[in-house]
Structure 1
């Protein structure tokens, strides 16, 4: 499921500031980066299954591995995890309304904080 028109898409922000904001909201970078891309995740374990809110970004300047990148954010996604296959984001997936609302609020809060750093 895509979260379009969050205001995050196209936002450019320093990697270190972004990571700080994301961590404050339970979004984890962990090992999900390479020298040009980052993915921040938040895991939700519900009775309906395991879901991941993901915010992707890519470096427009600098290097992620050197912690000196400017990251441009992309459209956030919500996906359902299926063991052992991975995460599915498709329109055929069921996403509980309460989860969708929680994710929308989380993304709005993140957007509100990024304004101070852009």
Structure 2
């Protein structure tokens, strides 16, 4: 599910400034990158619903190479997915997500948005 209520798509920020903001918000960088792309993931287990939800914020390098601090990256539309054992995470727009999970995602993204673009 794409979360389009935020200023993320097409916003550019230095990679060195992005990492601490994302980590402070609870996102994991976990060295998931190549020289052009990077993803930040936030894991949300839900005890009342079998499964684990993931909020992913992808970005790609506009100028420079990831993981350089001065590399300019462009944030892309955040997506919400659900893990299905043993197949992996599905990010389809056709999935139903609990309201409390969507609300938590919006709160996390609003906090990141505020930190990055003040």
**TM-score of the aligned structures, taking structure 1 as reference length:** 0.92
Aligned to 1:16: 16
Cα deviation for residue 68 of structure 1 reads: 3.3
For residues 42 and 117 of structure 2, the distance between their equivalents in structure 1, rounded to whole angstroms, comes to 21
Aligned to 1:25: 25
Question: Runs of 4 or more off by more than 3 Å in structure 1?
Answer: 65-68
Residue 62 of structure 1 pairs with residue 73 of structure 2: no
Aligned to 1:40: 40
Q: For structure 1, which runs of at least 5 residues remain unmatched after alignment?
A: none
Q: How many residues align?
A: 116
- Contact between 2:15 and 2:68, CA under 8 Å: does it hold in 1? no
Cα deviation for residue 89 of structure 1 reads: 1.3
- Contact between 2:62 and 2:72, CA under 8 Å: does it hold in 1? yes
The CA RMSD measured in Å over matched residues stands at 1.2
For residues 96 and 5 of structure 1, the distance between their equivalents in structure 2, rounded to whole angstroms, comes to 17
Residue 85 of structure 1 pairs with residue 64 of structure 2: no
For residues 17 and 66 of structure 2, the distance between their equivalents in structure 1, rounded to whole angstroms, comes to 13
